[in-house]
C-alpha cells in the first residue's frame, strides 16, 4: 500500500459545482497534513493546512479524520481558476514528508 493515496481523478466539473477530494495515509504516526495546489508546469503552492478540528478558508474546507486516516478537501462554488492538480501532503517524524500523487481538477464553463 502506498503511503499516501488520493482519488485518481481527473475530476471534470461545471462552474459552480461542489467537488470533494479524499486522501488516505498509511502511517498512523503522521503528524501534519496539508493540501497543496499545482498548476500545469508550475511549482506546488500551499493551499491550506489541515487541522484535527477541521478548517475553512472561503470556498475551501479541509477535514482530518485521524481514526480512519484520511483527509478531505471540499471546494464549493467551483471557479474556472480552481482548475489544477491538488496534492495531499502528510508528514511523519520531523523529516519525512510524503506527497500524494495528486488529483486533477478541470472546471468547465
Distance, C-alpha 37 to centroid of its chain? 8
Site for another protein in 23-82 (CB under 8 A): 32, 34, 41-46, 49
Cα angle 36, 39, 40 (rounded to 5 degrees) comes to 135
By CB under 8 A, residue 106 contacts another protein: no
Q: Output the smallest distance, CB 56 to another protein, in A.
A: 18
Q: Which is nearer to another protein, 70 or 99 (CB)?
A: 99
How far apart CA 68 and CA 26 sit, in angstroms, is: 10
How far apart CA 62 and CA 20 sit, in angstroms, is: 10
| Binding residue for another protein, selected from 63, 64, 100, 105, defined by CB under 8 A | 100
Chain contacts with another protein (rule: CB under 8 A): 32, 34, 41-46, 49, 87, 91, 94-102
Amino acid at each position: 500500500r502506498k503511503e499516501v493515496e488520493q482519488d485518481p481523478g481527473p475530476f471534470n466539473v461545471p462552474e459552480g459545482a461542489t467537488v470533494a477530494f479524499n486522501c488516505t495515509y498509511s502511517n498512523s504516526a503522521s503528524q501534519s497534513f496539508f493540501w497543496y495546489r499545482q498548476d500545469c508546469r508550475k511549482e506546488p503552492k500551499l493551499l491550506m493546512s489541515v487541522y484535527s478540528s477541521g478548517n475553512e478558508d472561503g470556498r475551501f474546507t479541509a477535514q482530518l479524520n485521524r481514526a480512519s486516516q484520511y483527509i478531505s478537501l471540499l471546494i464549493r462554488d467551483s471557479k474556472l481558476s480552481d482548475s489544477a492538480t491538488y496534492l495531499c501532503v502528510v508528514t511523519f517524524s520531523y523529516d519525512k514528508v510524503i506527497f500524494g500523487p495528486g488529483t486533477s481538477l478541470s472546471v468547465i464553463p
